[in-house]
Amino acid sequence: MAWGRADPPPLDAATATARGLISDIHADLNARLVTRDRQIVGLNQLLAEIADRLTGGALEEERRRDPGAALHWQAADWHAFFTRHPAQSNVPGPEPPRVEVERLATQVAHWQNRVHALERQLVETPPPPPAPAESTPAAPAPFGTPLNAAELLAELTALTQRLPKPPRPFAQQVAYHDPKLWQRQVQGLYLIGQRGLSQQSLIHWLLARLVDLDPEGGGFGRALEKLAENSLLQRTVLELKSPFSSTLIVLSLTADGRRLVKLLFDVEAVESDYERIRRLHQGDDLPAHTLGLLYFGLTAMQRGARVRVLPDAAGDWQPDLWIEHAGASRYVELELSEKENPAKWRNLAAVNDGQVALCAGNATQRARLVGDCRAMKLPGVATDLETLAREFKEQRAAAETLPLFQETW
């Protein structure tokens, strides 16, 4: 029936429309924040190079005394710097005009003001209304839908703009006198204590993407290692020999680490994925399965997916994972053996609108499990940890374009 003035749209449709619009606004604002922040960083770097050349290395001297110098300077800070260090006429090389330096400083200030305005707009935008209770998709999003990598990066960017100071009780246990190291420590604690991440390599990868550096370098490891050395983080090494060989380092907050997170962010630390697996899924007794769940979550997030480990589903049966990727959401089971388990696949299909979604250890094992599901006439998708790892290693730069499932039937 056509809607007119006397016949408004149903409440469910209006709510869904409002939710979609607000979600789009949030996504747009977050994307603009990331873009603006990168523009500010680029302009500041260019301005710093020009200023250092124009003043005969004076900026580099200030950086030796204060590693954070020029990192987030605004126009007033640059004016004060040039007042302290007038331009030298004997500087070798082409001399940039003073008016150009002033123009760049003004442009940096403009973009910083835009970022602050966008942050205020994001805070003032109301959250999307809750979904109607009776609307239940095949694989509904779990409570507190997890963020994908792009959304986490936007949160880290906003956090960097208002970085908290080290709480006094922990001033000697953190990198208080190294601004860059402290920034990375705060970002790492946020990802662990507020977003529940626990895979060290995933945390390094996210921090590296903020500054376009190699996750194997850039001091990310040193920043988090110092927290472990000072009993704020605990490192656990998980190993898998078969059917897929891998080692994964897991980070957990200690009791002191949880207290530090509470002081930094004014809320209690959340349960991490690793802690949830230990509590609900015999994580300590099944280390291979624990590693597999965490590794699949890691590589799925690197491909742009939202991931929830051990989600709550309808009924008594609990799937291993909930994944939203490429516009589709589904529950996924990790199976590292080749034994027949028809009850598992029937239970999975029952909560997945009649389909299965499985992750095996390697391609050989995947073929066997897919054959079992085909014999049961259950359609679905499948992937395996070994193939996911190889594809990411070979195409790291294009990770977000990589498929998550290699097989559909």
Q: What is the pLDDT of residues 31-69, one digit of tens each?
A: 666 666 666 666 666 777 777 777 777 777 776 666 556
In which residue are the tokens 């003004």 written? Answer: 106
User: Per-residue pLDDT for 1 more than 50?
Assistant: no
Residue type, 262: K
Backbone dihedral region for residue 362 (phi beyond 0: left; psi -120 to 50: alpha; all else: beta)? beta
Please determine, looking at this structure, whether the domain spanning 148-270 carries the CATH number 1.10.132. no
The string of pLDDT tens digits covering residues 207-246 is: 988 887 766 655 668 889 999 999 999 999 999 888 878 8
SS3 call for 387: helix
What mean pLDDT comes out for the span 2-25? 53
- Domain residue limits, the chain: 21-85+95-123, 148-270, 273-409
Q: Retrieve residue 167's tokens.
A: 């709480």
**Looking at residue 360, what is its pLDDT?**
96
* Burial class of residue 258 in the structure, from the number of CB atoms within 10 Å of its CB (0-12 exposed, 13-18 middle, 19+ buried): middle
127: nearest Cα among 150, 144, 148, 140: 144
Q: Taking a C-beta distance cutoff of 8 angstroms, is the pair 362, 244 a contact?
A: yes
Please determine, looking at this structure, whether the domain spanning 273-409 carries the CATH number 3.40.1350.10. yes
Residue type, 347: N
DSSP 377: T
The string of pLDDT tens digits covering residues 351-376 is: 999 999 999 999 999 999 999 999 99
Per-residue confidence at 176, pLDDT binned at 50, 70, 90? Answer: confident
